Structure formats: structure tokens, C-alpha cells
Amino acid sequence: MRPWSYGGLSLAAAWCAPAPAPVVPHVAKAFRIALRIRHGSGVALTFDDGPHPIGTPAVLDLLHTAGARATFFLVGEQVERWPAVAAEIAAAGHEIALHGYRHRLLLRRTPIALERDLDLAAETIAAATGRIPVWYRPPYGVFSAGGLALVRRRRLAPLLWSRWGRDWEARATPEGVARRATTGLRPGDVVLLHDADHYSSDGSWRTTVAALPLVLEAIARCGLQCVGVTEST
């Protein structure tokens, strides 16, 4: 995820872009976009932009060691490149979700183009993982009005996040990522991380992998567990 500039955008265009999503939750609430899950003792670790041939297996190994479950928002074009890695995510028991086929801003896509993108993404991901995604997060966390309506007509559940590590940034450090992702953590939080650098700073997945043990330790210290986004109570 590269940082998004809001210059010149109206509120209607930018209402759920990456910065407003966690910072202005009442805006997302008005459009009924979930930022959190309903769980009394768990948080949802979510990973965007994968799969990645090195980053994803490294994340999977850390999650396995910690006995943690996560949700992976996969990009169809990357699943097409690395289907075995996508299959490994599902085989490890993690939740499979949809991040589109092409990682492109919804504000610049027509409804017809987006519909084709969602079809291709769902088909590609299902073929590789054996799972039909039910959760959707748009590229860059930005919904268009038409895109949101289309997602809901297709019975996909839109989900953004309540906390993020900003791990895609070139200057991000493992300690900084972990601190941003977990300070003030509480049950029901959705944490955004990235297991791939396809659309972000080169090698940023290494920062995520180095930060993940710190994130998992902080979650455990809070007496919380890592759950899939559908594991709500």
C-alpha cells in the first residue's frame, strides 16, 4: 500500500481512504463499513496484498509458532503468480478474503470494470485455495459509492481496519510497526499489516516479518487471542 494523497478530493471521494478509516470511525459508521469485529476476547490480524513467495511463508511460520489465526486479503493477480502459496495459507487454516484482482484505486474504475475484476479475483482465489471469499477490502482502503454498492449486491462483506502498522513505508521499523499496531489494543480490533511488497516499498515485507513477533507478544500480553474476522460473538 503506497501512501495516498488526498489533495483536491472531496469528502465523498475520500471518506474511507486509509487515514480517515481509523481516525474518523463515525464516517465509516455512516456508510455501515466495519472497522472492527464483534469479539469479546480476540483481535483480527489481517494481511493485505499477497501472496508473496517469501514474505507469506515467513508470516505463516510465525503464526504457526504462536498458534495464531489470521485473515489474508489476497490479490488475484498475485494468486495467479503464486497459487501454491495461496493454497498454503488456506491449508494452514487461515481465513481467505478478497482484495481484488488488480490492485487499483476504485475511484478510477467503472462499475463494469470493477465487476469483472471481482469475478476474476473470486474465480482465481477459489481455484487456488478451495475457498470462496466472503470479506472484501478495496485496494488502498478506498471505496467509491458505486463500488461499495456493487460489493454489497454481490453479498461480499466490506471490512477496513481499526489499527495499522504502516508497515509499507520505506522508513518503517519493526518496533514502530508493532507500536502503532498494538498501542491501546482492545477486543474486536482489526489490525492491518502486509505480507507482500508488490504495491509498496521494496522489501517492506521484511519489516512486517520482523515486527510480527512483537505484535503477537503484545496481543498475548493484553490477554487477547488472534481470530479470523468471521469468528465474532
Catalytic residue positions? 48, 194
Report the run of H or E that residue 71 belongs to, with start and end: strand 70-74
Phi-psi region of 155 (alpha: psi -120 to 50; beta: other; left: phi over 0): left
- What are the phi and psi torsion angles at 86 (to 5°)? -60, -40
How far, in Å, CA of 2 to CA of 166, rounded?
10
Burial of 155 (0-12, 13-18, 19+ CB in 10 A): exposed
